[in-house]
Amino acid sequence: MVYRLGLTGSIGMGKSTTAKFFAAEGCAVWDADAAVHRLYGPGGLAVVPMEAMFPKAVIGGAVSRDVLKDIIGADASALAEIEKIVHPLVAADRAQFTEIATSDILVFDIPLLFEKGSEGMMDAVVVVSVDEATQRARVLARGTMTEAQFEAIKAKQMPDVEKRARADYVVTTDTLAGAEAQVKAIVKEIRAGLTDA
C-alpha cells in the first residue's frame, strides 16, 4: 500500500527544508513548484501552449515568470488563462510521479494544497508552521521581495492558524533538529500503520 501525504505551509514556514527531511527518511517527494519550473523550462510542455497564448512570455525557449507577473499585473483575467494551460500539465506530472515512485510514502509538496481543495487526494496532510516574526524575518532575509510583496503573497494564502486546524500533523520549524525529529516521528507512525494494515 502506498500512503499519500500532503505537505503544505505558507511562505517562509520551512516547507522545502521539511521536504528534505522526509526525503532523508526514504519518502518520495513531489514538489509542485519544481514541476512548474520543469514545464516552463526549455523543452517544457508548457512552453508551446504559453507561447501561443502569450507570445511575449516566452524568452529563449522558456517561459519567463517575470513576464507572466507583468501580464497578470496588467490583466487579472490572464491568470485564469495561464492556469487552464498549467494545471492539467502539473496534474499529469504528479500522476507520472505517482506511477513510477517506489517508496511506501509519497509526499506531495503543494504550497496551495488547502486553497485549491486538493487535500481530498491525500491520506493525511502535514502543515509546516512557525511564529509570524520568524516567518517574516526568513522571507525578507532572502532579499528577493519587499515587505509589501510578502504581505501580498500572505494575503492570498489561507491563514496559518486555519491550516494548522485542518492538518493531521503540524511540524514546527523553529529549530532544524526539532523539525527533523517531528518528521521522523510522523514517518514512524505512518509506517507502523502501513505494517498493521
Which of 80-94, 137-151, 181-195 has the least mean pLDDT? Answer: 137-151
Q: Percent of the chain having pLDDT more than 70?
A: 99
Render the burial of 101-115: b for 16+ CB within 10 Å, e for the rest: beebbbbbbbbebbe
CA distance 21 to 112: 20
- In sequence order, what are the residues at sequence separation of 6 or more whose Cβ sits closer than 8 angstroms to the Cβ of residue 190? 3, 5, 105, 124
Cross-strand partners of 3: 105
pTM above 0.85, yes or no: yes
Identify which of 137, 138, 79 has the alpha carbon closest to the alpha carbon of residue 112.
79
Rounded Cα distance, 39 and 141, in Å: 28
